[in-house]
Structures are given as C-alpha cells and as structure tokens.
Amino acid sequence: MASVMSLRDLENQIVYQTKVTRETFEFQDFQLTLEVRSLESLDDTIDRVFEYLQENGNESELERLCPYFGVVWPAARALADALFEEASRREATKLSGLKILEIGCGLALPSLVAAKLGAQILATDYHPMVPRFLNANLELNQISTIEYLELDWGSESDETQKKLESITGTDWDLIIGSDILYERFHASQLFSLFEKILTQTKRSNLIWITDPARPYLQAFIDHLKASSISVKTDIRTTFEWIHGQKKAKDIFILKL
C-alpha cells in the first residue's frame, strides 16, 4: 500500500534544480530590485516528481505535490507591480505598518515586494516545498517581516477551518492573491471565503486578485455579480518568458 509523500521524501529523493533571477519594479523615480530563487525548469521538475511518485505508487499525489509554485507567474508579477505602484504613490510612508495576507503565495513575489516596502505579511500556501523556497528568498533579500502558514483554503478539515477562522477574524489592511483560480472548484471556494471576510469588515478595496484570464475567472466574477460585493476590474500589462523571449502579457486585476 502506498504511503503519503512527505516533505522529507521530496527533499531527499527529488533534485530541485534552481536559479536566481532579478525582478525589478519601477514607478516614476522609484525603483526596487529583488532576487528570486525559482525552479530552473518547471517541466523537468514535474517530470522528476511524477517519476518518483509513480515508482512509489503515489501517482494520485501529483496534484498536491506538482511544483507549480516554483516559478514567477505573470499574475504574481502584475500584483507585485500594483503593490509597488501603490507604495510609490504613498511616497514616504510606502506600505509601512500595513498587515497583508497573501493566499496561495507560491514564491510570494508580491509579499516580498510588500515586505520590502514596510508591510507585515502572512503568506499562505499548501505545497510542502513552499517554505523552503520562501526562506531562501527571505535570506536573499534580507527580509524578516514575512511569516508563513501552511493553509489549504479548499480543505474542509477541522484544522483548516480553525486556521480560516483565525484569518477571517484578523483585521487585515489588504488581502492579496495571484493566479489562484486555476481549478473549477476554486471560484466558489474563494468567493465563499471572501464573502465571509467582506461581510465582517464591511470594507471595499480590501482584496486584490490578479488572474491571466483562466477559464474559471468568469465563474468567480459571476459569483460576485450575484452578490452585493462590488468589484473594480482593470488590466495590467506585464511580461512572461516564452522560450527565452520576453513577451507582453495582459493580466486582470480585481479589487473587492
């Protein structure tokens, strides 16, 4: 009988080949450059993870352990850029003192940017390798104001529900998430979570979500339209790397 793969299994048996790249943000006369450790090749890493899981009879674990977290997605870059622009407009205060929650952080580029600009961050994700990469990037950029919480916001376990209760009961200044509507059930689950938070806070412009027009974005928007939640939608143009070439990429940004 196959056993559930652990973090130790992944670290000991799978080679996560990485690289360090620079992400630069500019607005008017203000500039910020971060170093980000990410996967050298997402496709190659997926192949290695799948081969290992297959050898051990754990193919069903691929969805949970697929290393999609390990690259900087255009939606994350667009969200980080939006936060940088917001901080630049605030001039001297930047994001100083703001309490920010990031959902489905992956490499947490938006959180890294916000932390550099003075915010206190709680970054959340469920992939067991996220903390390893986050810690590496905190060290690379000399950041100490990001805490991490393992959270599968789609789970109905008692443990997860307790974590969600704590999160929804916290007075956040901003809640952010990028490219987190990539599964069919995400639209309804995220809407339920955000509806609960917004009902409690009775605030607007609290939640910022970026999305590259994935198929389930419209379902999420439909949930919002059927509710009393107001949403402002805009498009930000960022970039992505395709076969070594830098290509422009439009990203939707929703502010609830």
pLDDT tens over the chain, length 256 residues: 344 555 555 655 677 899 999 999 998 888 999 999 999 999 999 998 888 888 877 777 777 788 999 999 999 999 999 999 999 988 778 899 999 999 999 999 999 999 999 999 999 999 989 999 999 999 999 999 999 999 988 788 899 899 988 988 899 999 999 999 988 889 999 999 999 899 888 888 899 999 999 999 999 999 999 998 999 999 999 999 888 899 999 999 999 9
Write the DSSP symbol of residue 160: H
H or E element in which residue 221 lies: helix 217-225
Three-state SS at 203: coil
56 domain-assigned: no
Contact, 246 vs 232, CB < 8 A?
Answer: no
The answer to whether 206 touches 175, Cβ cutoff 8 Å, is: yes
Q: How many CB atoms within 10 Å of residue 62?
A: 15
Centroid of chain to Cα 105: 3
Within a domain: residue 58? no
38 located within any domain = no
Question: Is residue 30 one of the residues assigned to a domain?
Answer: no
Query: Residue 104: inside a domain, yes or no?
Result: yes
Domain assignment of residue 18, yes or no: no
| Whether the model pTM is above 0.75 | yes
Of 148, 150, 138, the residue nearest 113 (C-alpha): 138
* Whole-angstrom distance, CA of residue 161 vs CA of residue 128: 19
Residue 90 lies in a domain: yes
| Domain span at 131 | 70-255
Asked whether residue 236 is assigned to any structural domain, the reply reads yes
Instruction: List, in order, residues 6 or more apart from 77 with CB less than 8 Å away.
Output: 23, 109, 238, 239, 240
Alpha carbons 62 and 60: distance in angstroms, whole number: 6
Report helix, strand or coil for 125.
Answer: strand
Distance from chain centroid for Cα 141:
18
Reference 175, options 142, 155, 153; nearest CA is 153
| Helical pair 186-201 and 217-225, crossing angle rounded to 10 deg | 40
CATH code, domain carrying 85: 3.40.50.150
Number of domains within the chain = 1
